[in-house]
Structure 1
Amino acid sequence: MMRGMAWMQPPPRIRAVVFDLWGTLMSERRDTFPVRARLRFERCAPILAKYGIETTQEEFTKHHQRSNSTLARLQEYGRDVSSEERARHVFYQFRPGLADHIEEADVAAFAEAYGGVIEHTPPDLLPGVREALAECQARGLRVGLISNTGVSGGRHLRRVFEHHEVMGHFDALMFSDEHRRAKPHPGLFQATLDALDVTAAEAVFVGDTPRYDIGPPRRYGWWVVQVGERADGAPRHMRVSRTSANCSRASPGSTSQLNGSGPQVEVEGGFAMLARPRWLTVP
């Protein structure tokens, strides 16, 4: 090396793209909620009745929503429960002393009845997602997903992926109920990197919620891209209008803004938005 000459390490090659699920790849249809509520009650009521709990759909919905809200607060601290533990927690709302005495077979049946309703009223795949996933795969990128789960656990969401015929595009699927860790826990992000066999500097996280999808992976050394305009105090970062928007690698250290006025916008923070239908450009 010549004396006095500074050498810069080349930027890392992007090898993986990891997506959030809700609001990034899929969205719920509110018109299906009444049907889902009825099916959930009809499927769960016989199991509750076996343990002497007679209830109405209105009362059941109230208790299950209270359970879901409580467990959602747990996720704020990076923790989660399994689908079976979630099932016991619903029993707890009706009769606290009973929750630990439900037979394992009934817990499993309740978890399936409770969370499996989503398969009968599946959420929609957002426009352009199928093409974006296929493009990532075609370009040799590893593709992953990290999702905090709710009523429906990873086993049910995998079936939704199969319904939409996108399962084959993923190399790793990480659901919080299966790991008992939720975003923003660093362990869930690291488990994804390990499964994809990449480093944080080689991975991009794409999501819509700054609190869980932008701030945490950014702190852990990932590249980040936000879908949509939701703001919750995260530092300035790249934003795109939808998941199918395309990006190209740029130098790190600044902040990008999407103005929609031309084929390419000014960039900071690692990526540049393009208006053309190629989603991601890598070397």
Structure 2
Amino acid sequence: MTPPPAYARPKAILFDLDDTLWPIGPVIARAEQSLHDWLGLHAPRVARAFSIDALRQARLAMLAREPGYGLDLGALRRAGLHAAFAEAGEDGAKVEHAMSHFFAARNAVALYEDVLPALRAMGRRHLLGSVTNGNADLHAIGLAHHFGVSVAASEFGRAKPDPAIFHAACAGLGVTPAEAVYVGDDLLLDVQGAQRAGLRAVWLNRNGGAAHPGHGVLPDAICGDFHQLLAWLELDGAGVRKP
């Protein structure tokens, strides 16, 4: 009988943020509604001229014209507001106040209930870090102290699935890619991206969805929540329980 592969216990666990540590859809919906309400009070001509959806469609069109904005969605939103303010004849100096209001709401996330206990447990045995294409502020959210390194595409200049962003996080923790595991909800950006960078990767599939057959991605593990992730790590992340 062929023995199972001999993986060492991972030294580092790296995490995606949005839809891995918290659900992002409701957060963005509330933040965009809060921003539009703010516009109604402080930039009423913009609010009258642009619905939430109209602002979103304008941003998507801007992204299609200038794909570089994909590295920094905050910069995309700011540019979209500047364009809307100019078209509506509002004072562009108010855009930064609008962005501050939006980011405060965008960082008012509700963690999945299993996240904090699991981070505390993993932090006792592993180095922890994060790699994100989004613009969450871990200091504002109150999670920054859990992570030895946090790499964001907007600051790093490259986004997942580029191997460089995973390598930067590993280097920041002083580990090799082979000594790290990445955990995320997106099969292509997170799982395939991390594996191509030399890390093992866990697909955090909280909604129980099936993998698209055309993706051809085989995660090192599939976990429905952080309780299952902890159990997998207890098997050394290799399906082999330690003696």
TM-score range (shorter-chain normalised) is 0.7 to 0.9
Whose radius of gyration is greater, 1 or 2?
A: 1
Which residue does 1:271 correspond to in 2?
A: 238
**Offset, 1:102:** 4.6
Distance of 1:137 and 1:26 partners within structure 2: 18
Please show how residues 171-210 of structure 1 align to structure 2 within 5 Å. Answer: 171-210=148-187
Unaligned runs of 5+ in 1: 1-9, 252-269, 274-280
Q: Provide, for residues 7-30 of structure 1, a one-character-per-residue CA deviation record: whole Å limited to 9, x for no partner.
A: xxx745521000111222111474
Q: Secondary structure at the match of 1:190?
A: helix
Match of 1:145 among 127, 130, 138: 130
Residues 147 and 107 (structure 1), Cα distance of their counterparts in 2 relative to 1, 3 Å cut: same
SS in 2 for 1:125: coil
Q: 1:115 to 1:132 in 2, by over 3 A?
A: same
Q: Distance in 1 between matches of 2:122 and 2:66?
A: 29
User: CA–CA distance in 2 between the matches of 1:21 and 1:58?
Assistant: 33
How large is the RMSD of aligned CA atoms in angstroms?
3.8
Q: Which deviations, in whole Å up to 9, do the C-alpha atoms of 1:76-102 show, x marking residues without a partner? A: 989412634530233325657x9xx95
Q: Tell me, yes or no, if the aligned pair for 1:215 and 1:234 is still in contact at 8 Å.
A: no
Q: Is 2:137 the partner of 1:159?
A: no
2:109 matches 1:118: no
Residue 40 of structure 1 is matched in structure 2 by: 35
* CA-CA distance at 1:35 after TM superposition: 5.0
Q: Under a length normalisation based on structure 2, what TM-score does the superposition of the two structures give?
A: 0.75
Within 2, Cα distance between the matches of 1:72 and 1:243?
34
Q: What residue is the counterpart of 2:224 in the other structure?
A: 241
Q: Look up the equivalent residue of 1:39 and give its one-letter code.
A: S
* CA contact 2:32–2:102 (8 Å) conserved in 1: no
Structure 2 unaligned segments of length 5 or more: list them: 1-5
Contact 2:22 2:112 in 1 (8 A): yes
CA contact (8 A) 1:206 1:224 kept: yes
**Higher helix share goes to which structure?**
2
Aligned length: 230
